[in-house]
Chains A and B, each alone.
Chain A
Amino acid sequence: MTTRVLLCQRDELTPGSLKKVPNAEVGDICVYNLEGQYYATADLCTHATASLAEGDLEDGLITCPVHWGQFDVRTGEAVTFPCEKHLRTYQIIVTDKEVFADVAKEAEEALAADLA
């Protein structure tokens, strides 16, 4: 079974934008374009129930639309109250045309930050 999940076309998201990718197996995924670099995290806020894709993306931080907790989308780190539990990240695989997530792996930044 492949753990590779198609997130979007490479030119689909402009820098600074984000989108929710429904996924029944691992839960919905949120994909972000940070100045040309793609990142992916779980879409569900770890605080209560909210889709992060409806939040504001600024300076690499996603602000939850419900209680305005914040995560660093590169590492998944919960940086602003009331979010205390870190966010699950996914490793990105970029091909010629498409952006995938490997849902079996954390993002490298998350591993480096030792949050995973």
Chain B
Amino acid sequence: MDNNLIKLKPIEASPALPNLDKLCDMEAGRMSGKIFWDGDIYEQELEKIFARCWLFVAHESQIPKAGDYIATTMGEDEVLVVRQKDASIKVLINACPHRGNKVCFAEAGNARGFICNYHGWAFGTDGALRGMHESGVYEDSAFDKSQHGLREARVDSYKGLVFATFAADAPSLAEYLGPMAWYLDVILDNDEGGTEFAGGCIRSTIECNWKIAAENFVGDILHAGWTHDSAARAMLGGAVAQVSDFPESWSVNWNGHGYEFARDLVGNAAVLGESAINKYLHLQAPKAAERLGEFRSRMLGAVSSFTLFPNFSFLPGQNTMRVWQPRGPNKIELYTWVIVNKNAPQDVKDKWRRGAMMTFSPTGVFEMDDGENWEYCTKTSRGKVTRYQDLYVGLGMNTRLADTDLPGNVFKGQLNEANSRAFYQYWKDLLKAPSWADVPDRNGQLR
């Protein structure tokens, strides 16, 4: 796919920042809080990470019919995800190619097209410019409508999840996900009916850097037993499981994506305190085993979490999927959804939706615990001296497992910062690379 086809002007790569190795050294397992606070770094991230990587934009179930759309953002770029007449999906920049006005103000709906409020340019659901107010006068200036439609991003999907990228030179989505797709199947493919989002999108803001949230899900179960202890006691009447006691527990990563997991089937789900959900998982596990094998069938609602680089995360069991939308270096807008198996009984779906509201939403007890920590992890870095001090990311250094059949870069145990190191390494590699071709392949080499 070339940029011409999607009519996107490529942005010229700005030179890499000079001091990245000082700020982030994953060989040594240390970094500085400056990367959570600095405006220049943030601008580089928008360009070299969010304008480049495959970003989650929608679940196919959100836009079943032609003309269905949702509004979201890719980094800070506002986009519309629109179902086409031929059932394909387009991702269009939600900015008018005349003076840049926002074209669609609704968050979701069904439309025949989009009309700009400013001078009345009218676009089809495919983004093509179909007419303008006073269209006759454009003819005198040899106006070519076909060149002035809404700009498009590249789109691909994986088992219901729709991703888009602005980079013509990005690898395919399949290459980008690599062996992590094998783990995603635990959620996306444990049932023949596939998945859907239950209910709408919950939006909230947290005053933290997006990386802290993404990293928390990529491989920080360590915080849960401590941070969430009181919430777990309130929800469950007891403590969160002692993760260090799990006999089977891993951290795996690839290209900066990471999944940390146990095989206890219901560990995450249990904090919702809904016996119907636990029962559903127990009944579903044998069916999942037929599709995915016994190993992955025990991961369904287990103590686990993952992040697909850069900012799409998921908690199995609680079944919350989220995007940490960057809004400046020290703020995120959190978009949260609940994913369920399409074939699950309606009351189980409802319980999951409510359970997510109680735990991981602006009214959720767990979200509050996390939000406070993440805000202060960010804000302490406003101190000019504090900002440059080392932060330790060395837990589990040299615990890579060689003798395993599991796909990806596999590390021992979940209480391990290997996935965080892989995440920040990939982050730095992208910030240094002038183009996708220059991003080094570190799979197999990380410690």
Kindly identify, within residues 41 to 94 of chain A, every residue whose CB is under 8 Å from any CB belonging to chain B. Answer: 48-50, 54, 56, 63, 65-68
User: Is B113 in contact with A48, judged by CB distance below 8 angstroms?
Assistant: no
- The closest CB in chain B to the CB of A50 belongs to B131
Distance between Cα atoms of A56 and B125 in the complex (Å): 12
From A56, A63, A66, give the contact of B122 (CB < 8 A). Answer: A66
User: Is B112 in contact with A63, judged by CB distance below 8 angstroms?
Assistant: yes
Distance between Cα atoms of A85 and B191 in the complex (Å): 54
From B112, B115, B124, B131, give the contact of A49 (CB < 8 A). Answer: B131
Distance between Cα atoms of A63 and B112 in the complex (Å): 9
By a CB distance below 8 angstroms, the chain A residues around B113 are: 65, 68
User: Is A48 in contact with B135, judged by CB distance below 8 angstroms?
Assistant: yes
By a CB distance below 8 angstroms, the chain A residues around B131 are: 48-50, 65-67
Interface string of B85-117 (1 = CB under 8 A from A): 000000000000000000000000000110100
A54 and B112 in contact (CB under 8 A), knowing A48-B135, A66-B122, A67-B122?
Answer: no
B130 within 8 A of A: yes
By a CB distance below 8 angstroms, the chain B residues around A68 are: 112-113
User: Is A50 in contact with B130, judged by CB distance below 8 angstroms?
Assistant: yes
User: Is B135 in contact with A67, judged by CB distance below 8 angstroms?
Assistant: no
Distance between Cα atoms of A50 and B120 in the complex (Å): 13
By a CB distance below 8 angstroms, the chain B residues around A48 are: 131, 133-135
B136 within 8 A of A: yes
Distance between Cα atoms of A66 and B115 in the complex (Å): 8
Distance between Cα atoms of A41 and B131 in the complex (Å): 20
User: Is B124 in contact with A67, judged by CB distance below 8 angstroms?
Assistant: no
User: Is A54 in contact with B130, judged by CB distance below 8 angstroms?
Assistant: yes
Question: Contact residue range for chain B?
Answer: 10 to 19
Which of A48, A50, A68 gathers the greatest number of chain B CB atoms within 10 Å?
Answer: A48
User: How would you classify the secondary structure of chain B's contact residues: helix, strand, loop or mixed?
Assistant: strand
Which of A49, A50, A54, A56 gathers the greatest number of chain B CB atoms within 10 Å?
Answer: A49
User: Is B130 in contact with A49, judged by CB distance below 8 angstroms?
Assistant: no
User: How would you classify the secondary structure of chain A's contact residues: helix, strand, loop or mixed?
Assistant: loop
By a CB distance below 8 angstroms, the chain B residues around A56 are: 112
- The closest CB in chain B to the CB of A54 belongs to B130
Distance between Cα atoms of A63 and B122 in the complex (Å): 14
CB distance from B115 to the nearest CB of A (A): 6
- The closest CB in chain B to the CB of A47 belongs to B131
By a CB distance below 8 angstroms, the chain A residues around B133 are: 48
By a CB distance below 8 angstroms, the chain B residues around A66 are: 122, 130-131
- The closest CB in chain A to the CB of B115 belongs to A67
By a CB distance below 8 angstroms, the chain A residues around B124 are: 65
By a CB distance below 8 angstroms, the chain A residues around B134 are: 48
By a CB distance below 8 angstroms, the chain A residues around B130 are: 50, 54, 65-66
CB distance from B258 to the nearest CB of A (A): 46
CB distance from A90 to the nearest CB of B (A): 24
By a CB distance below 8 angstroms, the chain A residues around B122 are: 65-67
- The closest CB in chain A to the CB of B112 belongs to A68
CB distance from A17 to the nearest CB of B (A): 14
- The closest CB in chain B to the CB of A65 belongs to B130
CB distance from B66 to the nearest CB of A (A): 10
CB distance from A46 to the nearest CB of B (A): 14
CB distance from A56 to the nearest CB of B (A): 7
Distance between Cα atoms of A56 and B111 in the complex (Å): 13
Distance between Cα atoms of A80 and B136 in the complex (Å): 23
Distance between Cα atoms of A48 and B119 in the complex (Å): 13
CB distance from A114 to the nearest CB of B (A): 30
Kindly identify, within residues 9 to 38 of chain B, every residue whose CB is under 8 Å from any CB belonging to chain A. Answer: none
CB distance from B197 to the nearest CB of A (A): 28
CB distance from A45 to the nearest CB of B (A): 9
- The closest CB in chain B to the CB of A56 belongs to B112
Which of B115, B122, B133, B136 gathers the greatest number of chain A CB atoms within 10 Å?
Answer: B122
Distance between Cα atoms of A68 and B135 in the complex (Å): 16
CB distance from B123 to the nearest CB of A (A): 10
Distance between Cα atoms of A95 and B131 in the complex (Å): 36
- The closest CB in chain A to the CB of B131 belongs to A66
Which of A50, A65, A66 gathers the greatest number of chain B CB atoms within 10 Å?
Answer: A66
Distance between Cα atoms of A48 and B124 in the complex (Å): 16
Distance between Cα atoms of A101 and B135 in the complex (Å): 28
14 interchain pairs (CB within 8 A)? Answer: A48-B131, A48-B133, A49-B135, A49-B136, A50-B130, A50-B135, A56-B112, A63-B112, A65-B122, A65-B124, A66-B122, A66-B130, A66-B131, A67-B122
Known: A48-B135, A49-B131, A65-B131. 15 other contacts (CB 8 A): A48-B131, A49-B135, A49-B136, A50-B131, A50-B135, A54-B130, A56-B112, A65-B113, A65-B122, A65-B124, A65-B130, A66-B130, A66-B131, A67-B122, A68-B113
**Which residues of A approach B to under 8 Å, CB–CB?**
48-50, 54, 56, 63, 65-68
Nearest 8 CB-CB pairings of A with B: A66-B131, A49-B135, A66-B122, A65-B130, A68-B112, A50-B131, A66-B130, A67-B122
**Which residues of B approach A to under 8 Å, CB–CB?**
112-113, 115, 122, 124, 130-131, 133-136
